[in-house]
C-alpha cells in the first residue's frame, strides 16, 4: 500500500494542466487535422480528467453559489459569442455541461446531508429526494431540447464521481469508508461506460477510459499554484486563438 501511495504524484493542478493540454490536442485535431483520428483519440482523455477535477472542486468549495454562478455566467457569455460568430449555432459548450453537473452535484450533496441528518424529519428527507430528482429530470429535458456537449450522460459523469463524497456530511463510518479514491474513480468509470455506450455505434468515446490510470495517480492535494480560475480563462482563450489561426490560414 505504501508503494501505491508513492505512485500518486498528480495533484489537482497537475490534473487540470494535463486535461487542458489534452483538450488542446483534441481541438487542434478537430480544426486542422479532421481526418487524422489519433488527435481525437488523445483528446478523449481530457474530459474525464476535467470531470474528476470538477467533482473534487465541488467536494471542497465552501461558496457553492459563487462557484456555480461563475461557471454558468462564463458559459452564457461564451454561448453568446459562439452564436454570433458561428451563424446562429446553438450547440452548448462543455461549460454548459459542467455548469449543469455542478448544479446536480450540489443538489445531491443537499440530499445526502438531509437523508443522513438524524434531526431531519421524513418530510424534509422526502423533499430533498424530490428536489434532486426534479433537478435530474430538468437537466435531462434540457438535453433533449438543446444540443449540449457530451449530452445528458456527459453532465452525469462528474455526478457519478461524487456519489460517495461524504466530505462535511454526517455519514456513518460504514459509508465513509467508501469515500476513497478507488471508489470515486470506479464510479467515474461507470459513468464513462454509460456515456460511451450512449454514443454507439461511434466507438471513439471508449478511449476516454484510458484516463483512469492517470486518475489513480491523484494524491488528493491541491498543489501550490493558484489555478482557481485557470479553466475559466483557458477554455475560451485557447478556442479564440485556435480559431484566429485557422481563419488566417
| Three-class DSSP labels, 82-126 | HHHHCCCCCCECHHHHHHHHHHHHHHHHHHHHHHHCCCCCHHHHH
How much of the chain exceeds pLDDT 70, in percent?
Answer: 95
Q: What gap in Å lies between CA 115 and CA 122, rounded to an integer?
A: 9
125 HSE (CA, 13 A, CB side) = 9
Per-residue confidence (pLDDT) for residue 5, from 0 to 100:
65
Query: Considering the chain, what is the average pLDDT of its residues?
Result: 90
pLDDT at 235: 85
Q: What is the pLDDT of residues 152-207, one digit of tens each?
A: 999 999 999 999 999 989 899 889 999 999 999 999 999 999 999 999 999 999 99
130 vs 119: which has the higher pLDDT? 130
Q: Which residue has the higher pLDDT, 236 or 48?
A: 48
pLDDT value of residue 75: 87
Higher pLDDT, 84 or 231: 231
Query: How many angstroms separate the Cα of 164 from the Cα of each of 40, 69, 187?
Result: 31, 24, 9
Q: Does the pLDDT at position 3 exceed 70? A: no
Which span out of 57-66, 133-142, 166-175, 231-240 was modeled with the highest average pLDDT? 133-142
Question: Three-state DSSP class for 218?
Answer: strand
Query: Across-strand partners of 92?
Result: 148
Residues 66-119 have pLDDT tens digits of: 989 988 988 888 887 777 666 667 788 899 999 999 999 999 999 999 999 988
Q: What is the mean pLDDT of residues 218-225?
A: 84
C-beta of residue 71 within 8 angstroms of C-beta of residue 231 = no
Checking if the pLDDT of 217 tops 90, the result is yes
Q: Report the range of poorest mean pLDDT among 29-33, 35-39, 77-81, 99-103.
A: 77-81
Q: Give the global pTM.
A: 0.92
pLDDT reported for residue 240 = 83
Query: What does the pLDDT read at residue 86?
Result: 64
Amino acid at each position: 500500500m505504501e508503494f501505491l501511495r508513492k505512485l500518486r504524484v498528480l495533484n489537482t493542478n497537475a490534473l487540470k494542466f494535463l486535461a487542458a493540454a489534452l483538450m488542446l490536442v483534441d481541438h487542434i485535431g478537430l480544426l486542422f487535422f479532421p481526418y487524422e483520428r489519433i488527435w481525437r483519440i488523445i483528446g478523449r482523455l481530457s474530459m474525464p480528467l476535467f470531470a474528476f477535477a470538477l467533482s473534487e472542486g465541488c467536494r471542497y468549495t465552501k461558496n457553492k453559489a459563487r462557484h456555480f454562478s461563475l461557471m454558468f455566467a462564463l458559459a452564457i457569455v461564451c454561448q453568446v459569442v459562439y452564436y454570433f460568430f458561428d451563424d446562429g449555432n446553438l450547440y452548448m459548450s462543455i461549460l454548459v455541461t459542467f455548469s449543469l453537473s455542478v448544479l446536480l452535484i450540489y443538489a445531491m450533496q443537499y440530499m445526502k446531508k438531509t437523508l443522513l441528518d438524524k434531526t431531519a424529519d421524513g418530510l424534509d428527507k422526502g423533499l430533498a429526494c424530490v428536489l434532486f430528482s426534479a433537478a435530474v429530470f430538468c437537466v435531462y429535458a434540457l438535453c433533449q431540447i438543446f444540443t449540449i456537449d457530451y449530452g445528458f450522460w456527459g453532465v452525469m459523469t462528474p455526478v457519478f464521481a461524487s456519489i460517495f463524497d461524504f466530505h462535511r456530511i454526517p455519514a456513518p463510518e460504514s459509508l465513509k469508508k467508501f469515500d476513497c479514491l478507488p471508489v470515486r474513480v470506479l464510479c467515474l468509470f461507470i459513468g464513462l461506460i454509460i456515456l460511451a455506450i450512449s454514443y454507439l455505434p461511434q466507438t471513439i468515446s471508449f478511449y476516454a477510459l484510458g484516463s483512469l490510470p492517470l486518475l489513480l495517480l491523484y494524491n488528493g492535494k491541491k498543489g501550490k499554484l493558484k489555478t482557481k480560475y485557470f479553466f475559466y480563462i483557458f477554455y475560451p482563450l485557447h478556442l479564440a486563438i485556435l480559431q484566429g489561426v485557422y481563419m488566417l490560414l
